[in-house]
Amino acid sequence: MKVLVTGANGYIGRYVVKELLEKGNEVIAADINYDGVDGRAKFSDINLFGGETDIYEKFGCPDVCIHLAWRNGFVHNAASHIDDLPKHYEFIKNMLEGGLKHIVVMGSMHEVGYHEGAIDENTPCNPISLYAIAKNTLRQLTLLKAKEKDAVCQWIRGYYILGDDLKNNSIFSKIVAAANEGKKEFPFTSGKNKYDFLHVTELASQIAAVASQTEIDGIVNCCSGEPISLGEKVESFIKEHNFDIRLNYGAFPDRAYDSPAIWGDASKIKEIMKNY
């Protein structure tokens, strides 16, 4: 297939581009710069948010667009999430109205808000951050427009992503930084909250697999389907990397808006991965 990947040089995008290329696809990469993108991709200088109604043709009429581009994804209450929302929708609308028949967009478990248990495509959403509100609104708008244009739409719902620990701005990257600075103790919460962890390379494989087929659409959880406590996962991360640092449990209170246990229902992605 000819696949357009936006946000191609982002934390997830670089791995998705590589995975698609390894599977023999032609990849058009769209981003601001390409210093970390596989050189086998075709780099585009087209501005996603220029408002061109013929942007689908300008990108060479790809078979599928995987829209990963997003600013400040780790800063959940940045004003840019709301400011950029109309630009993302305009891009997607222009692609679909221009003739695109298959759109894949990166979403987030944060769309759901506070929730205990597994998340599936029917779980009600009550987003409680600007990031989550923007993603949830874009999902609703995209699904509506795709239905109007009779296009396949797959909304990827991501969970707790691991890997590439110096770039991901998570608790794991902070532990790497602290260990590299020679610190022996790391202030931590209770560590009891349970999340759905997935390595970024596995996430990229799942995203590419979703985009490679059209039978299973709608909201698709890209996840492990297995809840693991944050404390357990961080302890194993420290051991795996042989860091001489220990967690100071209870140094920080657990955040009131963090779900005690939240994970993805992996039924759809398991079915997709069977044939990938």
Does the pLDDT at position 164 exceed 80? Answer: no
Does the pLDDT at position 32 exceed 80? Answer: yes
Q: 64 and 39 in contact (C-beta within 8 Å)?
A: no
What was the pLDDT predicted at 259? 85
What was the pLDDT predicted at 179? 92
What was the pLDDT predicted at 165? 57
Mean pLDDT, to the nearest integer, of 12-33? 97
The first and second tokens of residue 93, run together, are 């609308």
Mean pLDDT, to the nearest integer, of 167-171? 72
Helices 230-240, 171-180: crossing angle, 10 deg rounding = 40
Going by C-alpha positions, the residue among 27, 136, 19 that lies closest to residue 88 is: 136
Task: Give pLDDT tens digits for 240-271.
Answer: 999 999 999 999 988 777 789 999 999 999 99
How far is residue 240 from each of residues 209, 221, 236, 246, 249, measured CA to CA in Å?
29, 27, 6, 13, 19
The CB density around residue 228, as the number of other CB atoms within 10 Å, is 16
Pairwise CA distance, residues 3 & 61, whole Å: 9
Residue carrying the six token digits 């995987």: 66
Q: pLDDT class for 175, splitting at 50, 70, 90?
A: very high
Task: Give pLDDT tens digits for 113-139.
Answer: 999 999 999 999 999 999 999 999 999
**Chain-wide mean pLDDT for the chain?**
95
Q: What is the CA radius of gyration of the chain?
A: 19
Pairwise CA distance, residues 264 & 271, whole Å: 14
Task: Give pLDDT tens digits for 109-119.
Answer: 999 999 999 99
Q: pLDDT class for 163, splitting at 50, 70, 90?
A: confident
Q: pLDDT class for 167, splitting at 50, 70, 90?
A: low
Q: 173 and 235 in contact (C-beta within 8 Å)?
A: no
Q: 140 and 111 in contact (C-beta within 8 Å)?
A: no
What was the pLDDT predicted at 267? 97
Alpha-helical regions (H) of 27-183? 55-58, 80-98, 130-148, 171-180
Pairwise CA distance, residues 157 & 104, whole Å: 11
* H/E element, 118: strand 117-119
**Four-residue CA torsion sign, 77, 80, 81, 83:** positive
Pairwise CA distance, residues 41 & 246, whole Å: 42
Portion of the chain with pLDDT greater than 70, in percent: 98
Residue carrying the six token digits 């990938």: 276
Domains of the chain plus CATH, in order, are 2-161+197-223+266-274 (3.40.50.720), 162-194+227-248 (no CATH)
Residue positions annotated with a catalytic role? 131
